[in-house]
Structure 1
Amino acid sequence: MKLVDSKAKLPDTDKVTINLGLVDLAQMDLLVEEGFYTNRTDFVRTAIRNQLQQHQDAIRQTVVRKRFVMGMQRYARDELERVAAAGEQLEIHVLGLATIDDDVSPELARRAIASLRVLGAFLAPAAVKAALADRIHTS
């Protein structure tokens, strides 16, 4: 999970570094040179999208089984206040982006959120992240 400062602009992309064998790299460069791809990044993005598409059923089944919300999930103060007032706590599972609004206090976050697992990015005020540190699951 990528922890993002609430004041920072969320990037559209994130950097991934990979090590490739020389033959694989040379073949990739050949395809770029021949015009199949505009550059190495285009090749890698296309390969990743193809693999994600190939495994779409497994992804979908895992999302359902582990109760993930896909995409962006925003947690506002009024929603968290309702949860806490009912004596309940949320178990948040997000595949994408989870945000907690800037007006949510650390105390409210602790009362309303039992656990937080985000595969992607988590955007919240620093004090809220600190208050939830023992409830954030990264693996």
Structure 2
Amino acid sequence: MFMEGPANHVSLQNLAHLNLISLNKLIFIFTLSLAQSLPKLESLNIGSCGELKHLIREKDDAREITTESLCFPKLRSLSISYCGKLEYVFPVSVSPSLLNLEEMEVDFADNVKQIFYTGEGDALTRDGIIKFPKLYLCANKVICLFTHVM
């Protein structure tokens, strides 16, 4: 998670709650491989991570993001605050795994352009519709929830 090199050897499969506070040099939180190994993650709280730009590193040589490889199927709560360089929260192809997401709070992250973005080679859901049946969203100055998809 915080190391260079063999991050794909880290296993946190039973992790349910993750709080990351005041990690000022953190640029991303997860490689894709690590994000896909967190099936029990229920809450993610990120605060005062001044250099954070993305939650999931966009380029992960080990895998590509697909809707079949769910990242956060049990995530219920996401809170991000005081992350001034954060630009994007999730690739849009992670969205099908977020059906249990109830709360998403993004505060004091003035650089956020989009919550869900379409990255290079990123595929949208099969029907093109993204569903969040339980979501309550509280965001501060977010320009766009999704990228324009044709």
TM-score normalised by length of structure 2: 0.29
Larger-gyration structure (1/2): 1
- Structure ranking higher in helix proportion: 1
Ranked by relative contact order (alpha carbons within 8 Å, sequence separation 6 or more), the top structure is 1
TM-score normalised by length of structure 1: 0.30
